Structure 1
Amino acid sequence: MAIKIKTQSEINLMRESGHILANVFKEVSKLVEPGISTKELDKFVYDYIRKQNAKPSFKGYGNPPFPASICASINDEIIHGIPSKKRVLKDGDIIGLDIGVYYKGYHSDRAFTFKVGNVSAEASRLVDTTMESFFNGIKQIRDGVHLGDVSYAIQKTAEDAGYSLVREFNGHGVGANLHEEPAVPNRGKKGFGPVLKTNMVIAIEPMVNMGHHAIYIEDDDWTVVTRDGSLSAHYEHTVAVKEDGVEILTALEDDEIVNKYMNS
């Protein structure tokens, strides 16, 4: 399948979807604290998205159908954790929330790993490095750049810090479908891969393990965990390629983390 170049009107609609999603994260972040269950977080997100006349992208997606509106992945869970009343956050946990919004025919996709209460220095460094790898990657983006340049920057940042990158799951194109071409690996070589063009829209999402890169999928057919039990962090935004750079479609203008990294 060919990589789709979005029209400006499509970009505008995706920006609206991304704005809703950015506000979802702003609001749900206020609830992430010891004692709350991932099921409660899921209900809050579902209700919030529906109030915006939008739909959660993940609910019912795939085979078997994903049963929730958010992926909630704690500690050694990498991605696709299923919310549950039994999964209650504890002080020192890290939790990756991955959420999608479908609005006016277009998806947006974002993930963020939260530090719950007082986390260890090692866990904090992992989360921060994962974010840094994302931003080092998207700083490579502009019209005419090979996707491998983006992947290489992500890989170098994570591996130089002593971490490993998940190999079986990648970022992806986003649009009328949640997952479109191209696949966006988190490992790569400069000068290789598809050439980025203005108004391509992709979700870039480093998944960084503290230990080995090996994974396995639990019996629920969804939850992906580190094989060695080490911590894993996940960070993602949906971005549009511009002639001379990149636009993050899933961040608010006052996003402190985005502004910190993009201006550094």
Structure 2
Amino acid sequence: MVTYRDPRELEIMREAGRVVARTLDAVEGAAEPGVSLAELDAVAARTIKELDARPSFLHYHPNWSPTPYPGTVCVSVNEVIVHGIPDGRVLRAGDLVSVDCGAELGGYHGDAAVTFAVGEADEAGRRLMDVTRLALERAIEAARPGARMGDLGHAVERTAREAGYGILEGCTGHGIGTAMHEDPEVPNIGRPGTGLVLREGLTIAIEPMFEEGGRDDAVGLRDGWSIATADGSRAAHFEHTIAVTADGPVILTLP
């Protein structure tokens, strides 16, 4: 069932989104060669607590995973596309790091992700990040009343295909509000003019995930959570929580 939010709810979600944005900024600021993923997770946990919010991901247990998620944020490095567990892995110069963060405040959730380089990225890495970010921007721009969900998926898919990148099949964006994951599904592949009609008050997380090698497949790692490219190529992931309003899309996960 799709739920639509009123202006009061959107304001609470904006506050939750600010917590997410500030946490992502803090994690990126702490990422440098020699820092472990667990240390980045500790930064996220401390920031969310200081902002009087609660991490949405910690102990989250979907039916497809054998164990609850053990971290505050997902930290995925290089070939890991999404759901990377923040463990003792140490960052190296040039790594591409995707951080996905969710936070709950006042009973509502915010969710966003960024990909950044540790130090300087190579040209191919910069292009991968830029194109994935562009796909998110195009999908957000398409999220207007009267548009259809397929328009958003098409915006993401077209951006990937034009650049020669693969798209992680099976992982999508989602509705969000009083629960971290709600209806509807927000696909990264679609045909224009198809799918759910977007209405005012709809709140969704849009999250393109692109694979540098051009393949659309992936492999699950032994930790039961991490999903990596099948060919070992790098990946990028960007995400925002947005609201569909009469004035156009509003990004709720900005600082």
Q: TM-score, normalised by structure 1?
A: 0.93
**What SS does structure 2 have at the residue aligned with 1:29?**
helix
Match of 2:60 in 1: 61
- Conserved in 1, the CA contact under 8 Å of 2:80 and 2:228? yes
- Conserved in 2, the CA contact under 8 Å of 1:32 and 1:114? no
> Which residue of 141, 144, 150 corresponds with 1:142?
144
- Conserved in 1, the CA contact under 8 Å of 2:26 and 2:43? no
1:226 is displaced (CA, Å) by 0.5
Partner Cα distance (2:250, 2:198) in 1: 13
- Conserved in 2, the CA contact under 8 Å of 1:77 and 1:223? yes
- Conserved in 2, the CA contact under 8 Å of 1:35 and 1:89? yes
**Aligned alpha-carbon RMSD (Å):** 0.9
Q: TM-score, normalised by structure 2?
A: 0.96
Partner Cα distance (1:91, 1:44) in 2: 20
User: Is 2:23 the partner of 1:24?
Assistant: yes
User: Is 2:238 the partner of 1:235?
Assistant: yes
Partner Cα distance (1:34, 1:119) in 2: 13
Partner Cα distance (1:231, 1:29) in 2: 18
Structure 1 outlier segments of 4+, above 4 Å: none
Q: Which amino acid is the alignment partner of residue 15 of structure 1?
A: R
Identical pairs, percent: 40
User: Is 2:109 the partner of 1:107?
Assistant: yes
1:27 is displaced (CA, Å) by 2.0
Partner Cα distance (1:71, 1:20) in 2: 16
**What SS does structure 1 have at the residue aligned with 2:29?**
coil
Partner Cα distance (2:121, 2:17) in 1: 29
Provide the aligned length of Structure 1 versus Structure 2. 250
Q: How does 1:147-166 map to 2 (within 5 A)?
A: 147-166=149-168
Partner Cα distance (1:123, 1:187) in 2: 23
> Which residue of 110, 121, 124 corresponds with 1:122?
124
Partner Cα distance (1:26, 1:223) in 2: 23
Match of 2:94 in 1: 92
1:8 is displaced (CA, Å) by 1.4
1:137 is displaced (CA, Å) by 1.0
- Conserved in 2, the CA contact under 8 Å of 1:167 and 1:185? no
Q: How does 1:134-213 map to 2 (within 5 A)?
A: 134-211=136-213, 212-213=215-216
**What SS does structure 1 have at the residue aligned with 2:47?**
helix
1:26 is displaced (CA, Å) by 2.1
Match of 1:260 in 2: none
